[in-house]
Amino acid sequence: MPKPKLACLYAAAISCLAATALVHSQSGAAGLEGVWSTTLTTRAHPTWLIEDHLCGFFCSTDEYQHLRRLLMDPANDDRSLQDLQQDMRTFGKQRGDEVLTDAGRERLVAVPEPVDTSAVCEPPDLRAAAFAPLPLAIELHEGNVVLYQQHWNVARTVRLTNESPKPSGPPSRYGNATARFEGPALVVDSVNLLPMMTGDAVTTNQARVTERYTPTENGSRLDLELTIVDPATYREPRVWYQPRIRTPDVQLVEDDPCAGLREHD
């Protein structure tokens, strides 16, 4: 057994190595910083792929991969893009139904029908905030990362650490989160979230959400994957995808999502 002083030195060395690894990872992911836009706001940008446009500003990874298979199959050369997109959506809905638990299916059926958005003024849940179609800005600071989403002016400051997030206080819209780097990718884990009840994202407050932001080697494209692990809802992790491109000429502006509601008052 190490002597007390040696044990302290050993612990300090391990802590130092962990901090150094974190810093090195952070410096290697500097390509993440900047403003990133979706197909909705930069539709004419030449670097978009056909599947990016057909995916929309986000889709499930199952849908995106199925769409790529359809586009690569010569048997589909004479089919319209609209037809392929509908095929993708049908496939995605079938996959979504397959992975739902019985309890998850009951919660999905209970989701209220969409209403006139001009009469609703509620901040987005975590999935909607991450996959909003408006520009996203990423900033790296000493010890944390800031994710600015123009939609609803959502700004999340997440501590950079090798530790997993721990629940603190009651569940909230964005819960408790920590961030880390895995190679060039920024990974954000969130727990202690309020249940989601939108579209095919129906969760309990036991859900764990992981966002993975992966820039391409030349830093021109950002692939965002969001994974929900919630055994009470899904039989396997549910993963959604959103492509973004770097747009240094774009500046985030103040979003006023309730303006239309006030105009009707």
> Do the beta carbons of residue 233 and residue 42 sit within 8 Å?
no
Rounded to two decimals, what is the model's pTM? Answer: 0.85
List, in sequence order, every residue forming a beta bridge with 109; answer none if it has no partner.
none
Q: What is the C-alpha to C-alpha distance for residues 187 and 180, in angstroms, rounded to an integer?
A: 5
What confidence score (pLDDT) does residue 203 get?
Answer: 94
The residues, ordered by sequence, that sit 6+ positions from 10 with a Cβ below 8 Å of its Cβ are 2
Q: What is the pLDDT of residues 99-138, one digit of tens each?
A: 999 999 998 888 876 545 445 688 899 999 999 999 999 9
> Do the beta carbons of residue 58 and residue 164 sit within 8 Å?
no
Please say whether the dihedral angle defined by the alpha carbons of residues 100, 185, 248 and 136, taken in this order, is positive or negative: positive
Alpha-carbon separation of residue 236 from 99, 165, 233, 258 (angstroms): 6, 21, 9, 36
pLDDT surpasses 80 at 238: yes
What confidence score (pLDDT) does residue 109 get?
Answer: 85
pLDDT surpasses 90 at 32: yes
What confidence score (pLDDT) does residue 112 get?
Answer: 74
What confidence score (pLDDT) does residue 261 get?
Answer: 59
Question: Which DSSP letter does residue 194 get?
Answer: P
3-state SS class at 107: helix
Mean of all residue pLDDT scores within the chain: 86
- Residue bearing the bigger pLDDT, 48 or 256: 48
pLDDT surpasses 90 at 224: yes
What confidence score (pLDDT) does residue 9 get?
Answer: 34
What confidence score (pLDDT) does residue 192 get?
Answer: 98
Q: What is the pLDDT of residues 128-168, one digit of tens each?
A: 999 999 999 999 999 999 999 999 999 999 999 999 999 99
Alpha-carbon separation of residue 217 from 29, 31, 34, 184, 221 (angstroms): 10, 8, 15, 9, 9
> Do the beta carbons of residue 233 and residue 207 sit within 8 Å?
yes
What average pLDDT does the segment 79-83 reach? 97
Q: What is the C-alpha to C-alpha distance for residues 176 and 186, in angstroms, rounded to an integer?
A: 17
What confidence score (pLDDT) does residue 114 get?
Answer: 57
